Amino acid sequence: MLKSLNLNFSGGIHVQTMQRQSGIFIGERNVAIGWSSHGKENSVIGTISGQSNLLLHNISILNDPDFVDTPIDDRDIHISIENPDDENTTTNLTLESLNINRMEQNSSVFLGKGHVTGMDANQKINNSQGAVTGNYNQQVSNLNINHDEDMIDAIIDDRDIKIATWEKSSEID
C-alpha cells in the first residue's frame, strides 16, 4: 500500500473573515466528522469592518420579545468507521500562498486529502442593515429597527444519523 502526499507551501495563509463552523485544513489526511453549529443572532447594524468608517446620529432599536426563543434539538448520532485503502495514490500540490477574503457559515478549504461528513449548521439571523465592509464608508442619520415578535422563534430540530468511513494511511513515502 503506497500513499504519498507531496505538499509544497512556500507562502502564507491570509484570512480576513471566518464565520461559524469554518475551517482551513492542511495536511496529508484531513478528517472532520460530526460538525454541528446552531444558534440565533440578532443584530441591528451588524458587523462593521474596514477602515475609517463613520456612523453618526444612528438610532438602533432591537425588540425581540419571544415567548420561547430558539429551542434547539441536536441529538446527532455519529458513527465513524476507519477503512484501510488498497489504492496506490500520489498527490503533488504546490502553492505559493492562500488568500481567503471571507468564509461564511459551513465553509472549508482543504489542502490535501479531505474527508468531511456531518457538517451542518442551522441559524436564524435578524439584521436590520447587515454587514458594512470596505473602506471609508459613511452612514449619517440612519434609523435601524429590528422588531421580531414571535411566539416561538427559530425552532431548530436537527436530529441526524451521520455515518462516516475514512481511510487510514499505513505507509507514507
Rounded to two decimals, what is the model's pTM?
0.60
Q: List CB contacts of 121: < 8 A, sequence separation 6 or more.
A: 20, 21, 35, 36, 37, 38, 105, 106
pLDDT in tens, 71-94: 888 888 877 777 665 455 666 777
Residue 113's Cβ-side half-sphere holds a number of Cα atoms within 13 Å equal to 14
pLDDT in tens, 118-172: 777 888 888 888 777 778 888 888 888 888 888 888 888 888 887 777 665 554 4
CA distance 36 to 41: 16
